[in-house]
Structure 1
């Protein structure tokens, strides 16, 4: 498997590599701890793997699969919704912004969760901060204006995630500063930055392209739960 081929099934390949120490694995199925993320992964999208996943998922717990694979959901699973995204990779980050964001810590988690709930950048929970490094830009009064960080980590790759800004602080280039900073940090580690963005979010796609990201493929996030 080439490095970028791991992105066809990014959650599973993160669970068995960069996030293996925290992963919950059962055969061909795996998940991140429930307090950290609802994202799950399968080695192969076959009924046996879904059965193994069921043992990791409490009833009524909604979980998310992200893959380029097409598959049929078994009858004992219910599809709650899906989102089509572009998967974008960056081989040459534009470099560090003039103003460096601050590293976010546990004390910032309530503000991070509040921002994520208000702007819906994707799944974000109180424990998500443990998935990687998260950074923010704060107002003079200390309020968290915007943030971005790292999520899935297949071998040699790191996802830029949770890119979000409070509406009243938009239009100031905060997202660009954060994404360029996080991408540069990842590249400095010798890894390739990648991210996911809704195909309908034309403005965000254009921003990421200006920052050196290129569309690799389309990928689908599906939210589901056990019946």
Structure 2
């Protein structure tokens, strides 16, 4: 694995997101108030055994891997699916920004958690906002659409938590908040990328329209130590 995005969690937790993680040269874990990510330099059985040894019973972790894992029956597997990775094509510039989009800060966390709990774009915890670059759209002081950043496997930054309330979908709101996130990341000289399930065709269409291109097919696991 030579490209930073071949092993995005490990790369992030040893580069741009290292300040939010803990561990050593064999295993790194994200702050549990920010997410559930675990990164390993590679995913052979001996590295998975090391991960098992450091986790407490009942702890769940999320892994992004380049290939399927060989897991023994001690692990409870909550998720095991293909995961499409897309990278922003930096030749697409000057995305249209909307005055309706505003930056989100810690004062908005309760609304952000309520929206993500309802729409399920992926885990969003109390301190996930510390990853930064979150933007949203409000209607009558209610957050109805949002997106932001997550893992930072330098020089790349993951766009995440893209979601819009069901009653407001189909109005281009996700495109507006994503455009704000992309412009913010590019201004910081970071390259946006993201992940999605390959059968999510509506998301694929949206991301493609914003300049993202398919890069690799990974695998996502949610594992629990029994």
Q: Report how many aligned residue pairs link the two structures.
A: 224
Shift of 1:46: 2.3
Runs of 4+ in 1 over 6 A off after TM superposition: none
> How far apart in 2 are the matches of 1:220 and 1:132?
25
Match of 2:191 in 1: 192
Q: What are the residue-to-residue correspondences of 1:15-164 with 2, within 5 Å?
A: 15-92=13-90, 93-94=92-93, 95-99=95-99, 101-139=101-139, 141-164=140-163
Report SS of the residue matched to 1:43. Answer: coil
Report SS of the residue matched to 1:83. Answer: strand
Unaligned runs of 5+ in 2: none
Q: Is the 1:47–1:74 contact (alpha carbons within 8 Å) kept by the matching residues of 2?
A: no
Q: Is the 2:87–2:214 contact (alpha carbons within 8 Å) kept by the matching residues of 1?
A: yes
- TM-score after normalising by structure 1: 0.92
* CA deviation profile, 1:110-158 (whole Å, cap 9, x unmatched): 111111111110121111111222111111x210011000001011000
> How far apart in 1 are the matches of 2:83 and 2:73?
25
Is 1:167 the counterpart of 2:194? The answer is: no
What is the Cα-based RMSD across aligned positions, in Å?
Answer: 1.7
> How far apart in 2 are the matches of 1:18 and 1:226?
28
CA pair 76-27 structure 1, distance change in 2 beyond 3 A? farther
Larger mean Cα displacement after TM superposition, 94-103 or 108-117: 94-103
Larger mean Cα displacement after TM superposition, 145-154 or 22-31: 22-31
Q: Is the 2:77–2:222 contact (alpha carbons within 8 Å) kept by the matching residues of 1?
A: yes
> How far apart in 1 are the matches of 2:120 and 2:155?
27
Shift of 1:191: 1.4
- TM-score after normalising by structure 2: 0.92
Q: Is the 2:79–2:221 contact (alpha carbons within 8 Å) kept by the matching residues of 1?
A: yes
* CA deviation profile, 1:146-203 (whole Å, cap 9, x unmatched): 1000001011000000000111111111000111111121112111100111111111
Larger mean Cα displacement after TM superposition, 60-69 or 149-158: 60-69
Unaligned runs of 5+ in 1: none
